[in-house]
Amino acid sequence: METKVNEIADGIYRLSTFVEEIAPPAGFTFNQFLVLGDEPLLFHTGLRRMFPLVRSAISRLIPAERLRWITFGHYEADECGAMNEWLAVAPQSEVAHGETGCLVTLNDVADRAPHILQNGEVIDLGKGKRVRYLDTPHIPHGWEAGIFYEEATGTLLCGDLFTQVGNGPALTESDIVGPAIVAEDMFQYSSLNPGMGATIRRLAEFSPRTLALMHGPSFSGDGAAALHALADSYDHRISSYAVG
């Protein structure tokens, strides 16, 4: 395996590792995102066993020990499995997550106390980069779920939203909703709930220009339209289950 590095927005880098054994024959990508600034931020740590690959990839951009913030969407191995490895490598780094995730899990499992983020709280990374934390409980799964929005570039760090299989380009302007619906049918990974569509539509209010996907290519274009279409799909899915 190798971890590829691509800049998907100004100062935001996608670190992508393709694993062909998962979801064959298409395979599956595991992506992390590094946001540069005076206080660099990593969104997703990667699996613990992938740590050497991801560390090597980050070291092409900055010394790994400069990392300041360690963030992720929810508590799951591919999101934060290497959390403590990063805390050890970067002595000034802190894990930052929402209140639920910190109180329920991270206060115990993180080797250093995490920074608790309130919904809407902004971390100023310096050099014009600002990331805003957004609570998205149970979406796509996990009651502690949340995502981040980088305001200067209009980049929404989507976590597991829009998950798709395959090993596409680092950045695409093609449809990402159709492939996400296929992956939902395949994995049934979302915690379907009546508020799902409304929560995703609130994300669309930011009108993101780039959608950074954890599993699949990042998207450049009308992010709000893609989010509305995804919300419509989940509303339809939920109503179909209710009728059934």
pLDDT surpasses 70 at 244: no
Q: Report the pLDDT value the prediction gives residue 241, as an integer from 0 to 100.
A: 76
Strand, helix or coil for residue 28: strand
CA 235, CA 177: separation in Å to the nearest integer?
14
Mean residue pLDDT of the chain comes to: 96
pLDDT band at 240 (very low <50, low <70, confident <90, very high): confident
Q: Is the dihedral of CA 223, 165, 163, 167 positive or negative?
A: negative
CA 74, 18, 67, 84 dihedral sign is positive
Instruction: Categorize the per-residue pLDDT at 242 as very low, low, confident or very high, splitting at 50, 70 and 90.
Output: low
pLDDT bracket for residue 210 (50, 70, 90)? very high
Question: Would you place residue 1 in the very low, low, confident or very high pLDDT band (cuts 50, 70, 90)?
Answer: confident
How deeply is 188 buried, as exposed, middle or buried, from its count of CB atoms within 10 A (0-12, 13-18, 19+)? exposed
